[in-house]
Amino acid sequence: MSAEPADSSPAPIRVQPSLGKAHARRLREIYRSAGWPCQDPLEIELLAAGLLDRVHAPSGHESLRVTDAGVQLLATTLAVNRAAFSAHEALVERVAQEMGRGGRIAWRGLALRAQVPGEEGTEKPLRWCIAKPDVFSIRNTSVATYVDPIVHEVKVRRADLLGDLRQSAKRTAYLDLGECWYVLGCDAKGRCIGAPDEVPPECGVMVVEQGRLVVARAAPRRSREGLPFGVWMALAKATPVAGLDDGAQALLA
């Protein structure tokens, strides 16, 4: 008997897709929806990774179902996001308290109107946008021209820092409000998530060293004539971070 000829067809190429935030976001959307397919590259990669299944209905329609592996990825992503959010909020609180210790009034989670230039290469006038700094603070003074507004943007993950540094319009909006500082946290190994020279020179940099907030590079001084009326109104409607002298009134006889 003659030997059967060897199969000369090429072996199938198996490529493990690199999954990122966009994949987890799409997986979450499909889990919360009816699972109608989009048939785009993101969906193809999720199917290839075994995170989605195609379900064929008797009517001939096709839908998507998140597999057990997909649910496990969603749970892992949720845990990571919660840990990062907790670390971020803890550092935001710490910065706000430090501003209070320095005699300033600080707010968290404000939405403030700021002006940024129009599209690059055009003569369009300045446009308004909404800036949401992690911490916004002013000096505790009754003189409007002495308020010295400062924005602190807190980052605890390197990916978030690099993504933020690419958003020049966001930084311009912060600089329209006052001085802008980046506060860089540490990774799981205790290393700073970025170097001060990675942050543009128009911003100051603070880092966490041995459990303390340290100024790595001061922000350039910016002269201002006070705050716009819209910012004053936003501050009046918001509640500042509780200061360290809340119990001082009880000590007064």
**Distance between CA atoms of 122 and 117, rounded to whole angstroms?**
10
Q: Would you give the distance in Å from CA 120 to the centre of its chain?
A: 24
Q: What is the mean pLDDT of the chain?
A: 86
- In this predicted structure, what is the pLDDT of residue 9? 58
pLDDT higher than threshold 80 for residue 15? no
> DSSP string covering 69-99, please?
HHHHHHHHHHHHHHHHHHHHHHHHHHHHHHH
Tell me what percent of the residues of the chain surpass a pLDDT of 70: 86
pLDDT higher than threshold 70 for residue 249? no
Alpha helices in the chain, H assignment, sequence order: 21-31, 41-48, 68-101, 158-165, 168-177, 229-237, 248-251
Q: What is the pLDDT of residues 117-169, one digit of tens each?
A: 766 655 667 788 999 999 999 999 988 889 999 999 999 999 999 999 999 99
Mean pLDDT of 8-19: 60
pLDDT higher than threshold 50 for residue 247? no
pLDDT higher than threshold 80 for residue 236? yes
Q: What is the pLDDT of residues 174-219, one digit of tens each?
A: 999 999 999 999 988 889 999 999 999 999 999 999 889 999 999 9
Q: What pTM did the predictor assign?
A: 0.66
Domains and CATH numbers, the chain: 21-66 (no CATH), 87-240 (3.40.1350)
Q: Which residue has the higher pLDDT, 223 or 179?
A: 179
**Distance between CA atoms of 178 and 181, rounded to whole angstroms?**
10
**Contact call for residues 49 and 67 (beta carbons, < 8 A):** no
Q: What is the pLDDT of residues 71-82, one digit of tens each?
A: 999 999 888 878
Q: Which residue has the higher pLDDT, 220 or 81?
A: 220
